Structure 1
Amino acid sequence: MPRRAREKSESGTYHVIWRGINRQILFENDEDRAKYLDYLQLYREKCGCRVLGYCLMDNHVHLLLAEGEEELSQVMKRLGVSYVHWYNRKYGRCGPLFQDRFRSEAVEDERYLLTALRYIHQNPRSLGISWETYPWSSYRGYMGQDSLLENDFVLGLFGRDRSKAIAEYQRFMQEESAKACLDAEMELLLSDQEANQMLQEQLHGLLPIELQHLGKEERDVALRGLKQLEGLSTRQIARLTGISQSVIVRA
């Protein structure tokens, strides 16, 4: 099946996710994460792109980038080649590390830009991690100095007064958002029929729709189990269970 053409952003701004091949770990330790950000800084300067947000998880990366002198695909190619070369040399391995094609979505307006940034910053909570203190995202960089980030542009959307803008930024980032944006598992790998069968097996014969009738604690335990299944997105689980995406994320 031919690949679908990548959506072109009129604004030149994209929310990007790149995952490890076969869900392989990309960062074994903090040195690896720091090296990836070093390369991101290098190609930010060489390619003229703007970094508006990032979050480094164990096996995938979220970026919010605005194109500069080079197109997104070229920036990501440079970044990927450099990091994989360094990683393979460090760990004595060979071959690809990232999936062959990163995913991206166009960000065309300021409101959605902030929504995508909030989604990126809150990403660590999917692993039960405190996203507000997570050291490998751009969240705290907006409240201080971070040479990698285009702080002024994003904070300027909240007002001209710097201290008030930071306070409004923090308030917005704290809000719950039911919109999933570009999810690490957004592309469905299973049909609804296949997924429904997998859910029933995980639930030991219970129909997915019957989760709605369980108590909150029992329901949330079941939802966490479903999220661990390979090839299912939050959106697909919501569709098959009748439970909203925001409830599934909070569980």
Structure 2
Amino acid sequence: MARKARVKSTSGIYHVMFRGVNRQDIFHDDEDRMKFLEILKKYKEYAGLVVYAWCLMSNHIHLLLKEGEEGIGATMKRVGVSYALFFNWKYQTSGHLFQNRFNSESVEQDDYFLTVVRYIHQNPVKAGMVGRVEDWRWSSCSGYYDQPCFPEGLLERSRVLQMFSPDASIAKEKFREYNEQTNQDECLEDYPFKRRRLTDEEAGHEIKEILGTREIAQVKSLPKDERDIVLRKIKSIDGLSQRQAARILGIPPSLVFKV
């Protein structure tokens, strides 16, 4: 089936999302997240992107940006390929990291532009990973709240803040109130994957269901082919990260990543 053509934004602004193939984690540690943001900054400068908001989750990424001197598709391809090369080199894996091409929607209206910013910042809260938007280190929220925001020079916040007030202090106060409002925002609604991270106890129960008569402690001693089959099934558990699975199974994370 032919891919659906990407809708061209008349404003040049897009809400973009990358997600891991087969729901796999695309970030395993802070170095991974820092590397992705460094790559994004590199291509921001190369192509003249304007980056208004971002959030890096465990297996997907949200970005709100304005395309620069080349189409958004070309720039996002550069970003995705560069990060996948780093990831595969670091974890000694191969193959696709991201599921198909990136997903996107055109952002044309000011009110929806602000909705997307809030939606992106509230992603970790709605996923149950933190209690407050400012507690998630890997989003642009900290930059809007005058807190340290890595990497320096990536975030362009003036457009957002000026939509609340020409006075900087008032704008920040009003933005914070808006950014933390309880809401039912839905953006990129065709994205089917919303899940809560499992606790270790819940994950252990799900793993035992897959193992049947086997014990968790026996997995690391299984022959490689048999172990790989089991690990593929375990990796499909909703809400279970690959690093969490490795910890519960008592095996090196690299064994899980490579399957």
TM-score by length of 2: 0.70
SS at match of 1:158: coil
Structure 2 residue aligned with 1:135, among 128, 137, 147? 137
Question: What are structure 1's unaligned runs of at least 5 residues?
Answer: 188-227, 230-251
- Where does residue 106 of structure 2 map in the other structure? 106
Matches within 5 A, 1:13-52: 13-52=13-52
Provide the rounded CA distance (Å) in 1 between the counterparts of 2:22 and 2:189: 16
Q: Against the structure 1 CA distance between its residues 136 and 184, is the aligned structure 2 distance closer, same or farther, given a 3 Å change threshold?
A: farther
Q: Equivalent residue for 1:93?
A: 93
Question: In the alignment, which of 178, 181, 195 is matched to residue 184 of structure 2?
Answer: 178
The residue identity in structure 2 corresponding to 1:155 is L
Residues 47 and 75 of structure 1 are in contact (CA less than 8 Å); yes or no, is this contact kept in structure 2?
A: yes
Residue type at the aligned position of 1:29: D
Q: In the TM superposition, what is the alpha-carbon distance from 1:173 to its structure 2 partner?
A: 0.5
CA-based RMSD: 1.6
> 2:74 and 2:186 mapped to 1: Cα distance?
26
Give yes or no for contact 1:15–1:116 (8 Å, CA) kept in 2. Answer: yes
Could you tell me how far apart the structure 1 residues matched to 2:173 and 2:125 are?
Answer: 22
- Structure 2 portions without partners, runs of 5+: 194-237, 240-259
Task: Tell me the number of residue pairs that the alignment of Structure 1 and Structure 2 aligns.
Answer: 189
Q: 1-side partners of 2:51 and 2:185: how far apart?
A: 22
Name the residue aligned to 1:6: 6
Contact 1:17–1:104 (8 Å) recurs in 2: yes
1:100-134 Cα distance to aligned partner (Å, 9 max, x none): 21110100011110001100000012331223210
One-letter amino acid of the counterpart of residue 155, structure 2: L
Q: Which residue in 2 is equivalent to 1:240?
A: none
1:166 and 2:152 correspond: no
Q: Which residue of 2 aligns with 1:154?
A: 160
Whole-Å separation in 2 of the counterparts to 1:133 and 1:61: 17
In structure 2, what is the equivalent of residue 235 of structure 1? none
Identity of aligned residues (%): 47
1:176-221 superposed Cα distances (whole Å, 9 cap, x missing partner): 222311147349xxxxxxxxxxxxxxxxxxxxxxxxxxxxxxxxxx
Amino acid at match of 1:167: E
Report the CA distance shift for 1:41/1:156 in structure 2 as closer, same or farther (over 3 A).
same
- Using the alignment, how far apart are the partners of 2:190 and 2:178 within structure 1? 23
Moved over 4 A (4+): none
What is the rounded CA distance, in whole Å, between the counterparts of 2:125 and 2:189 in structure 1? 14
Question: Letter of the aligned partner of 2:141 in structure 1?
Answer: Y
Post-superposition offset of 1:68 = 1.0
Contact 1:116 / 1:181 at 8 angstroms: preserved in 2?
A: yes
- C-alpha distance in 1, partners of 2:174/2:53? 17
Write out per-residue CA displacement over residues 7-42 of structure 1, whole angstroms, 9 at most, x where no aligned residue: 111000000111001111100000100000000000
